[in-house]
């Protein structure tokens, strides 16, 4: 059974962590390709990407088809942080309203990876509205499902 833990990143940030039976390089490559986001999305909102690079880098933009509350839309996000070192891999992107999605991959000594996904609402222009409609809870559930799917995808590796 996969154990998802809550990570305290302060107010207005929802973060969860799981240990995955796969190397950080492989997991980072999966999330660093925006066309593959739908493979692990647990929120049910990500459809497919219609424009953008196959590998993200700081400043890169990518457009994704989405669906929320039954309404289809497209969103263009901008990569705000991109780190690819042996000790840590990070990819973070910002929604046009300012909230951010962040993935962190930290290799463990046994060849597995601690994966942390977070939603940061602190800089969002619509953050207070999102809080009023319960987006923190919805995002927590989506992140938990996303990390569960990611861990399950590699469960048989050990």
Q: For position 15, which CATH number holds? A: 3.30.530.20
Report residue 20 as tokens. Answer: 């995955």
Per the structure, the count of domains in the chain is 1
Tell me the residue ranges of DSSP E strands in the chain: 5-6, 13-20, 46-51, 61-68, 71-84, 89-94, 100-107, 113-120
pLDDT value, residue 1: 54
Is 99:130 a contact under the CB 8 Å cutoff? Answer: yes
pLDDT value, residue 51: 83
pLDDT, averaged in runs of 10, over the chain (158 residues): 89 96 96 88 74 93 83 88 97 94 97 97 86 86 94 82
pLDDT value, residue 50: 72
Q: What are phi and psi of 16, to 5 degrees?
A: -135, 155
pLDDT value, residue 52: 87
Report residue 71 as tokens. Answer: 């309404």
The model's pTM is: 0.91
pLDDT value, residue 74: 83
Domain housing 96: 5-157
pLDDT value, residue 49: 67
pLDDT value, residue 133: 83
């Amino acid at each position: 059974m996969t154990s998802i833990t809550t990570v305290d990143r302060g107010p207005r940030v929802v973060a969860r962590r799981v240990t995955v039976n796969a190397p950080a390089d492989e997991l980072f490559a999966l999330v660093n390709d925006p066309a593959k986001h739908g493979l692990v999305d647990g929120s049910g909102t990500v459809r497919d990407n219609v424009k953008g690079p196959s590998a993200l880098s700081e400043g890169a933009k990518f457009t994704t088809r989405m669906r929320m509350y039954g309404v289809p839309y497209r969103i263009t996000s901008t990569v705000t942080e991109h780190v690819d070192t042996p000790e840590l891999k990070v990819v973070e992107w910002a929604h046009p309203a300012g909230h951010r999605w962040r993935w962190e991959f930290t290799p463990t000594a046994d060849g597995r990876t601690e994966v942390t996904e977070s939603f940061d609402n602190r800089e969002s222009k619509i953050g207070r509205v999102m809080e009023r409609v319960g987006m923190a809870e919805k995002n927590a559930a989506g992140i938990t499902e996303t990390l569960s799917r990611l861990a399950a995808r590699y469960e048989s590796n050990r």
